[in-house]
Chains A and B, each alone.
Chain A
Amino acid sequence: MRRFAIALAAAGVISVAGAGVAFTETMDWGKYQAGDKRSGYTYAQPETRAMQDDEFENPGFLLMESATAMWSKPEGAAGKSCADCHGDVSSMKGVATRYPVFFKPSGKMMNIEQRINQCRTEQMKAEPWKWESDQLLGMTVLVKYQSEGLPMNVAIDGPAAPFYEKGKAFYYERRGQLDLACSNCHEDHSGQNLRANILSQGMPNGFPTYRLKWQKVGSLHRRFKGCNDQVRAEPYKPGSDEYVDLELFVSHRANGLPVETPSVRN
């Protein structure tokens, strides 16, 4: 049913090629749209969307297979696995809709990748996984996938408030030799063509994502760094406070859109 609907949508786009953006602007994107908010799915090429929707074609699902095995595999000095505390991975349902969250012991915001590594070092007494490793990406995809289809619902009140403000300031601050803020492209010009690419609204609800340009699944922070590099700005490290705060801002900005991990993007 789902694949059938996508096939129809793809055929529609092809048949009116030339109407381009005007067509996609007026199209009913169903669950991929919440009010004015549109998932990156709605800006992707029809073939890219088809790849996301086919579980056998979408590389995110392959990555998730090894993570599923890892879920119940004991690791570290404590001899514990994820399953020993959390039971079946389906217990993670809803978690991804709320992250990043304020983490009292660190006094900072924490995203899913950091939560996973926090469990590894503190509960399992195991080595943390490296950022952008297949293990950390895979487990992040697996945890987020449990919330697939549920609306993003990130809180920015209470202790999160000052971090949200920092993320917001980052989003609107011009940077780099090209002197561009995130907002210049993803707010002011979304839906328009940057050369052959359609600028999306920069919604993070499908990350980690398989990006055709990367030929690999990658994290949201890798995407942040890529955008910073493109405007010739000095990037931050993945997992840095700056990027976690930015993740908080853009995740709250996506509230109402469904969790779409693992997505596929251009």
Chain B
Amino acid sequence: MKRSQLAAAVAVPLVMALAAGIGGGSRAQAEDLVAYQIVDGAIPKSLTGKPGDPAAGEATAVNRKLGNCLACHSLPIKNQPFPGDLGPDLASVGSSLSEGQLRLRLVDSKKINPDTAMPSFYKVEGLHRVAKAFEGKPILTAQQVEDVVAYLMTLKGN
């Protein structure tokens, strides 16, 4: 049972890769989606197979068209006034959560809380009426997810 579920998870991106290929390959994003495994409320393995870059992660986190984390969260960054407060302050999130737990929260927070307002940053399936410009694309690439995870892991509070 468990093995077949894993097989299905791996198969989906393959099918999408094929579809993208038939369509002329104009959209690379769909085939870039990496399969992952959830273990005890975490994704233990890096989506890219290597550690992310914390500096790039901070830039992605702040970018309003990418992470846009400050819309809902406080981050310990200067010159970024008026952070939102829908979600928790992230000043010490690198101490309270593991890398794998952070990764799952970025990839698909609804796996932890189905009612959350937090977008799933690395998901293209099961969405409704996505605008044409964003169809089949995750909000962040696997690399960007890893960069943000690496950045958040540096936030240890004081």
Q: CA of A175 to CA of B131 in the docked complex: distance in angstroms?
A: 9
Q: How far is the CB of A118 from chain B (nearest CB, A)?
A: 29
Knowing A189-B117, A193-B86 are in contact, say whether A177-B134 is a contact too (CB < 8 A). yes
Q: Mark A138-177, 1 if CB is under 8 A from B, else 0.
A: 0000000000000000000000000000000000011111
Q: How far is the CB of A199 from chain B (nearest CB, A)?
A: 8
A194 engages B128 (CB within 8 Å): no
Interface of B is mostly: loop
Interface of A is mostly: loop
- Specify which of A174, A175, A176, A195 is in contact with B82 (CB 8 Å cutoff): A195
Knowing A178-B139, A188-B117 are in contact, say whether A193-B82 is a contact too (CB < 8 A). yes
- Specify which of A175, A184, A194, A233 is in contact with B71 (CB 8 Å cutoff): A194
Q: Is B72 an interface residue (CB 8 A)?
A: yes
| CB-CB nearest in chain B for A233 | B129
Q: Is B132 an interface residue (CB 8 A)?
A: yes
Q: How far is the CB of A60 from chain B (nearest CB, A)?
A: 28
Q: CA of A192 to CA of B134 in the docked complex: distance in angstroms?
A: 27
Knowing A177-B134, A179-B120 are in contact, say whether A189-B86 is a contact too (CB < 8 A). yes
Q: How far is the CB of A206 from chain B (nearest CB, A)?
A: 24
Knowing A192-B85, A193-B82, A195-B71 are in contact, say whether A176-B117 is a contact too (CB < 8 A). no
Q: How far is the CB of B124 from chain A (nearest CB, A)?
A: 9
Residues of A within 8 A of B134 (CB): 176-177, 232
Residues of A within 8 A of B120 (CB): 179
Knowing A184-B117, A188-B117, A195-B71 are in contact, say whether A177-B82 is a contact too (CB < 8 A). no
Q: Is B105 an interface residue (CB 8 A)?
A: no
A-B contact pairs, 9 of them (CB 8 A): A173-B128, A175-B127, A179-B128, A185-B117, A194-B72, A199-B86, A232-B131, A232-B133, A233-B130
